[in-house]
């Protein structure tokens, strides 16, 4: 498995080695030892989640102010543009974002560590999206930053307005958000 640090080095893109022939393909989608070596610390995942969305749905930018979740995310059907935003106030990359295309075809995974807001937009007709998380979902601590906050300036690869949940539609600006100190 190839690990590629993104422009914000704590965020890592994983490219698996895929072995294929006329029968189909095989690849190792996760290896705890390799993962821990790449991120530089032992990581324990406690919850797996799966979502299905249709084209134009944008989910995020989500995070938890307590019980922060690191997320290892991937797509098993369809394609998304996936984004991580550094919301660690003392970080030299605070307020900066990185993004990657994740698809069933490229089989890439993105590690979004604790201290980052996370979101994605669906580019295919539908998508099946998987998350491995380092802490449990805690709705009381969940927060959302607006997907289109000009201070962050994410370059989403679509035109028009995305489909948003009520929670995502009400996302706060980075300036007003609860962030990690």
The residues annotated as belonging to the active site are 62, 131
**16: closest CA among 93, 91, 103?**
103
Distance CA 36, CA 72 (A): 12
């Amino acid at each position: 498995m190839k690990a590629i640090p993104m422009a914000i080095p704590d965020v890592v893109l994983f490219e698996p080695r895929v072995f294929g022939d006329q029968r189909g393909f095989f690849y190792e989608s996760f290896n705890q030892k390799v993962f821990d070596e790449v991120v530089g610390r032992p990581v324990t995942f406690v919850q797996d989640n799966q979502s299905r969305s249709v084209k134009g749905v944008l989910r995020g930018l989500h995070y938890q102010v307590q019980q922060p979740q690191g997320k290892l995310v991937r797509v098993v059907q369809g394609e998304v543009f996936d984004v991580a935003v550094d919301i660690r106030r003392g970080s030299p990359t605070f307020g900066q974002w990185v993004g990657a295309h994740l698809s069933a075809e490229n089989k890439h995974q993105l590690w979004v560590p604790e201290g980052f807001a996370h979101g994605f937009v669906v580019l295919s007709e539908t998508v099946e999206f998987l998350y491995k998380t380092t802490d449990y979902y805690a709705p009381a601590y969940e927060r959302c930053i607006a997907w289109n906050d000009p201070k962050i300036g994410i370059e989403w690869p679509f035109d028009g307005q995305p489909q948003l949940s009520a929670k995502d539609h009400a996302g706060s600006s980075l300036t007003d958000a609860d962030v990690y100190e």
